[in-house]
Amino acid sequence: MRWNAFTDKAQMALAAAQRLEEGLRAGITQRGLGFLAASGGSTPAPIYDLLRRADLDWALVRVILADERCTPPGIAGSNLALLRAHLLQGPAAAAHLIPLETAQSAPWPLDAALFGMGGDGHTLSWFPHSAGLPLALAADGPRAAVSIVPDPLPPEAPFARLTLNRAAIADAGCAVLAMTGDSKRAVFEAAMHALPQAAPVRALVEALGPRLHVMWAR
């Protein structure tokens, strides 16, 4: 991985957006489309606000959620709602959204991906010790979305999840893991000395190696 520390969140968001734009532009140049995996959460939102301004042919961009909460209709808090509010606006609204349920037929590999990390060391919806986690972290098999049930369920979002598996993200051309705050940095550093089942963000680092840009700001 590549570690990048920034003095403030605005600088980090700009650097992350630029990195993702580069990945998408490379995909468009090399194979006629750019494929992005997008995560939810508070940290990615300002990155999407900047990325949507990129001078790209957005009609050639494909977007898939990295994970999604299985919320009942009408319940706020879905990652799709965040993506529509912060990325799929203006020219970027021309991008094609690929449902997670159809992940196996998506135009792999990813050209760019944005991930976050929770305070328990999860990324995507790879929650520590959760049902479905071994399947999600399997290094072989088809690129797909799998079901995860966090254990325990987070009180602020008590829902099962659908998440891309390791095979889907392992050959991404460019990936960003964005996080903020001293506590998140401490969790990340501890995860590098833990087993992936206990701190799944380590599996992300192992899968992507130097193609993963870890971006942190206090």
The CATH number assigned to the domain holding 104 equals 3.40.50.1360
Domain count, the chain: 1
pLDDT band, residue 21 (cuts 50/70/90): very high
In one-letter notation, the amino acid at residue 163 is T
pLDDT digits over 67-101, tens only?
999 887 656 778 999 999 999 999 999 999 999 99
30-34, 130-134, 180-184: which has the minimum mean pLDDT? 130-134
pLDDT band at 211 (very low <50, low <70, confident <90, very high): very high
Look at residue 73 in the predicted model and tell me its pLDDT. 63
Predicted confidence at residue 157, as pLDDT, reads 81
Neighbours of 109 (CB within 10 A): 16
Domain of 22 in residue numbering reads as 2-217
3-state class of 68 per DSSP? strand
Round to whole Å and give the CA distance between 191 and 183.
12
Least reliable range by pLDDT among 14-23, 75-84, 171-180: 75-84
